[in-house]
Amino acid sequence: MAATALRERVWDPLSPWLQDSRQVFLVPDGNLNLVSFAALPFDGDHFLVERDPLLHILVTERSLTEWGLGTDSEGQAPIPGKGGLLVMGDPEFGPVLDEDVLPDGRGGTSPPPNPCLSLSDMQFGPLPWARREANDIKDIWLSDAGSGRGQVRIILGAEAAEAAFKAETGGQEVIHLATHGFFLPGACPQDENDEIREENPLALSGLVFAGGNQWWRSESGCDDGILTAQEVAALDLTGVRWVVLSACETGLGALTTQGEGVFGLRRSFALAGAQTVIMSLWTVGDNSTNEWMVRLYRARLQESSDTAHAVRAASLAVLTSRRESGQSVHPYYWAGFLAAGDWR
């Protein structure tokens, strides 16, 4: 089994040194950026998420000195309520030209990966569970009237446009986007005589907003329903604690060989000032995403868990529920999301 072989190669050599550790910070390199370490198997159908220590991804090692290791006097890090919550979900992407290329879950396209795939080849279908997810998260945020949390701004359907996102990000503490994501492999030659054209790696991944199926109709190329990682990097998200990308493959991007990680949405939101990005490594089902996200926000807002504990709690809750009901416990169903950045 590939996952077991990977654990034996990258985790087992470190395990003896981590016996007394409560938390381990990981700064993956290369293809390890695409690994959900919590999903590495051990002892039959059990996984690292079920064992100590707690795992969390950092963008760089210097994050430890930038943020410090402290939380609060009780070892927790609840959201203090200085800003609000922006939730955008279930955008109206527009008419679908080809039903055969509708996405599976929240990913960009259902056919096998194509090394020459471009945005023009992709169509995006509706996300009925995303609307429910947006309302569930709003209700959890507002469930404690005395919490002192900021206001909720929820934008759905045709109003969930790229321009609305850019206009509403200021002053938010949490930004939650329940929509489609995409990751393109880059340009490729049309025939053996063509040269491969270099592209900015941040232009190859992004999020889809209302009207995204007709992005090519935009004359200016701005606010066309497609928000690329390159556009995200130009935003000012200073003060945003969480950006939650409830979409497929939002943790993917162009891998570098210089130890600089993944050039994609995770990098661009960090560059824009967001402290923590919660994202996915693979195509996730609409229903399972809703369940995981509800568990995440309950742990964070109702149980005052810090980021690392909230992510683990969400994964464990879904995993345990599936195991108890006799469903598959394959990591596909519960381990697709991870957090990178500030663990508090």
Domains defined along the chain, listed by start: 83-186+198-306+314-325+336-341 (3.40.50)
Residue ranges of the chain with pLDDT lower than 50?
Answer: 71-76, 78-80, 108-113, 194-197, 254-261
Per-residue pLDDT, 146: 58
Distance, in Å, from the CA atom of 277 to the CA atom of 255, rounded to the nearest integer, reads: 18
How is residue 300 written in tokens?
């964070």
What is the widest separation between alpha-carbon atoms in the chain? 66
Tell me how far the alpha carbon of residue 190 is from its chain's centroid: 32
Contact assessment for residue 157 and residue 217, using Cβ atoms and an 8 Å cutoff: no
pTM value? Answer: 0.88
Distance, in Å, from the CA atom of 85 to the CA atom of 173, rounded to the nearest integer, reads: 6
Per-residue pLDDT, 217: 75
Per-residue pLDDT, 98: 60
Instruction: Summarize pLDDT for 304-321 with one digit per residue, the tens.
Output: 999 999 999 999 999 999
How is residue 329 written in tokens?
């416990």
